[in-house]
Amino acid sequence: MGSGNKLAATVVVVTFAVLMAAVTTTCQAAYGPPNPASCGLKVGYYYAKCPHAEEIVKNVVGAAILHNPGVGAGLIRMLFHDCFVEGCDASVLLDPTPANPQPEKLSPPNMPSLRGYEVIDAAKAAVEAACPGVVSCADIVAFAARDASFFLSNSRVAFQMPAGRLDGRYSNASRALDFLPPPKFNLGQLVANFATKGLGVEDMVVLSGAHTVGDSHCSSFVPDRLAVPSDMEPPLAAMLRTQCPAKPSSGNDPTVVQDVVTPNKLDNQYYKNVLAHRVLFTSDASLLASPATAKMVVDNANIPGWWEDRFTKAMVKMASIEVKTGGNGEIRRNCRAVNH
């Protein structure tokens, strides 16, 4: 905000044509909160060009979750990890190459914990068989996160996902470290982190609810959260001490469920866990650190449908961060590699 005020106070001459060119190539959070319409995204983007694209992705995601519910949590997390680094452009999917040996997927926030790549590959293959060269990997990632939310919530989280994203050509592991918030962040750090992407405090609280599904490596919360004293519920802390080594290492870093009550269900149990001090991460516990965010936690925990409604809106908003359009992206033939 401060830099925006300084810019406003500075006499800068920018032609309308140049400004519009900037907006239409990459829809940056700097132009305000992420907005699908302003980024050229729309619901039903593929209806004419590939009528069954969204149905194909949904079928692939549904089959994968039926086999392994944990992969659904990975697909929701994948959208977040993609969009916060270089925008929603499928940069997280790119494999290492001699020219780029350290892409995002090899960065500590993604390796080895991020899951679901093979589901995106399967969905892309199925879509390519129906409509070659039409559907971007970035849109498939967004559709997959939406569909995973639908299946894991028993259809209680159902929404339409605008599309029209292009795939980016750049991916760097260091950028993931720059933009993805670690689980040790406190409330102030979380708020600032989300603000850099145009997302507000409520967006942050609502999107944190995705921690109601999936697993976490012990290293993400040990020893910080298991130290004595800790605000974690003593029975949960005691159980975790039996599951996690005191000093996790790359060779000994098991996983535990993030939500011990409904581990495979996308619901508002996360907020009940926050209130009961049954959460793993410092970032989770920090939601009670201010009256405003604590009130949001209480509302999400206690008002039926409150969290689900806000989660759908926040997901669409997040999926509009720094979208690539125009000549600033491509439609990859293979989601793991840029076109040549």
- The answer to whether 261 is annotated as binding is no
- The answer to whether 82 is annotated as binding is yes
- The answer to whether 89 is annotated as binding is yes
- The answer to whether 216 is annotated as binding is no
Catalytic residue status for 277? no
- The answer to whether 134 is annotated as binding is no
Indicate which residue of 52, 67, 81, 277 is catalytic.
Answer: 81
Cβ atoms of 168 and 92 closer than 8 Å: no
- The answer to whether 91 is annotated as binding is yes
- The answer to whether 242 is annotated as binding is no
- The answer to whether 24 is annotated as binding is no
- The answer to whether 85 is annotated as binding is yes
Q: Which residues are annotated as a binding site for heme b?
A: 211
Q: Which residues are annotated as a binding site?
A: 82, 85, 87, 89, 91, 104, 181, 211-212, 259, 262, 267
Q: Which residues are annotated as a binding site for substrate?
A: 181
Q: Which residues are annotated as a binding site for Ca(2+)?
A: 82, 85, 87, 89, 91, 104, 212, 259, 262, 267
Residues with active-site annotation = 81
